[in-house]
Every structure is written in structure tokens, then in C-alpha cells.
A and B are shown apart, each in its own frame.
Chain A
Amino acid sequence: MAQDIQVQPQTHTFTIEVTYNGVTEPLTVQPHETVQAALEQAMNLFNIQNQRHIMAFYRESDGSEVTPENISLADAHITPGTVLALRPSKVKGGNG
């Protein structure tokens, strides 16, 4: 008698490190998830509740922003062990 076998797609995860204001935390991600999804995870991790739309990831190697945010982490060349800075895309202030 034939038996139904359900094959679950294997879920690959890996860990990157995200640093925010001097604190570095590991973040478990999947290669196919978008940069934006990882950003959301990271902001939740660091309890960033406001101005989330101005936050972005930056690479240490060349200081570049990880963009666009709708591509996958794999396409953005984010690999296991990558360390990313989570910071506002712009910081300014003043009376003007």
C-alpha cells in the first residue's frame, strides 16, 4: 500500500550580526528573505519603534548602504557572519 510522504522544503537559515549604538546582536535570517524583512527583524531586536522608515543597513567593508531593500539577502551578497550597521540613513538637526 502506497504511503503519502510529505516533503517539506528545507529551510536554510544563517546568522549575521547587526550593530546598533555600540551593541552587536546576532540575527537569524534566510537567504531568500528581503533586505527589508531583515531590517524589520533588526529594528524589532533593538526596540526601534519610531522613524523606522529612515533606518538602513550599512556594510563595514566600503560603508555602502545595503540597497535596494526589495532584493533578497543572497542577491545583496549578505552571507553568514556578515556584520551590518543599523543606523539612520541621514542625521541632521537644527533650528532651520
Chain B
Amino acid sequence: MIAVPAQLVADTFAIFRDCGGGRRECVTYWLGPADTPEKVDEVIHPKHTSMGGGYQIDDQWLTTFWFALARRRRSVRVQVHTHPREAFHSPTDDAWALIDTPGFLSLVIPQYGLGPVGLDSAYLAERAGREWREVAVSTHLDILSGVY
């Protein structure tokens, strides 16, 4: 179970609405201390291209980010991105995720993030074995009240 400040969820939706504008997909990463897997306390908005039905991370940005994570001893715990309509894990999401180690979580937000702020309509996938499988938000993310 990963503890997620509610304000971080709200900030993530704000990024999606500002960047995607209800017309394009957007992506963020939730980070926490590298030695504390059960905590996230930072949202990162990567440099990316996007369109109505997809996004791609900027290659140079990703390398810079990767070394910055190492210097700061921070790890990405959850990949969060939007879909235009319903939330699910697409074949593209399965094949080209940022992290592919067991237990990594990928959260998909429907309607470009224009719906109510929260995870009631979200789809959460976990990397398990050779596949991504749907898991319940309530058993994997503990949304904490307050700021971070």
C-alpha cells in the first residue's frame, strides 16, 4: 500500500487539465524516497509530446531525469496518465511503461482528467509476472488527507 497525499492527487489533476486541455493525453510520475517504497510525496510532469490518443516522453529529458533520480535518491512509484474516455491499460501502456519491475503501479485517469478530482473512476494496473493486471485502488493506494 502506497500512501498518497490527497493534495498530490489534486495537483496531478491540475497538471492534466492545464497540459491536456481536454484534448490531449498527459502523463505524470509520482515519486518517493528510494528507500521508502510505501510513500510518494512528489509529482513530476515530464517533458512529452501528446495527441488525442497517446503520449511519448522526450528522450533527452528522460536521461536527465534518470540521473537526477539517482542523485536525489528518489524513485518513481506510480505512472499516472490520462485517456480521452474510459480508463484502462492499453497495449501501448503495457509495452512501453517507464518501469517494468514487479509491483510497479500504473494509474489511468479517464476523460483527460476533466472529471471529479479523485480516483473513483480510475483504473489501476500492477506489473505482476509477465503481465499487467488490474488491481483495486483501495488496496494499493492509501489517499491521505492534508498537504504534502
Asked whether, in the complex, the Cβ of A95 is within 8 Å of the Cβ of B53, the reply is: yes
A91 and B74 in contact (CB under 8 A), knowing A85-B63, A85-B67, A96-B92? no
Restricting to B95-109, which residues have a CB under 8 Å from any CB of A? 95-102
Interface size on A, residues (CB 8 A): 26
Contact with A along B27-64 (1 / 0, CB 8 A): 10000001000000000000000111111110110111
Asked whether, in the complex, the Cβ of A58 is within 8 Å of the Cβ of B56, the reply is: no
- In the assembled complex, B85 has its CB within 8 A of some CB on chain A: yes
Chain B binding site: helix, strand, loop or mixed by DSSP?
Answer: mixed
Minimum Cβ distance to chain A for residue B142 (Å)? 21
A88 and B100 in contact (CB under 8 A), knowing A22-B73, A22-B75? yes
Cα distance A91–B62 in the bound complex, in angstroms: 9
CB-CB under 8 A from A51, the residues of chain B are 95-97, 100
Minimum Cβ distance to chain B for residue A82 (Å)? 13
Q: Size class of B's contact patch?
A: 35 or more
- In the assembled complex, B25 has its CB within 8 A of some CB on chain A: yes
Contacting residue for A19 out of B57, B66, B97, CB 8 A = B66
Cα distance A57–B54 in the bound complex, in angstroms: 25
CB-CB under 8 A from A58, the residues of chain B are 63, 66
Asked whether, in the complex, the Cβ of A93 is within 8 Å of the Cβ of B130, the reply is: no
Contacting residue for A47 out of B34, B63, B67, B101, CB 8 A = B101
Minimum Cβ distance to chain A for residue B25 (Å)? 5
Question: Told that A22-B72, A94-B25, A95-B83 touch, could you supply 8 new A-B pairs with CB distance under 8 A?
Answer: A21-B34, A21-B101, A22-B73, A48-B100, A85-B63, A87-B66, A94-B53, A94-B90
User: B residues engaging A (CB < 8 A)?
Assistant: 25, 27, 34, 50-57, 59-60, 62-64, 66-67, 69-70, 72-76, 79, 81, 83-85, 90, 92-93, 95-102, 127, 129-130
User: A residues engaging B (CB < 8 A)?
Assistant: 19, 21-24, 46-51, 54, 58, 60, 63, 83, 85, 87-88, 90-96
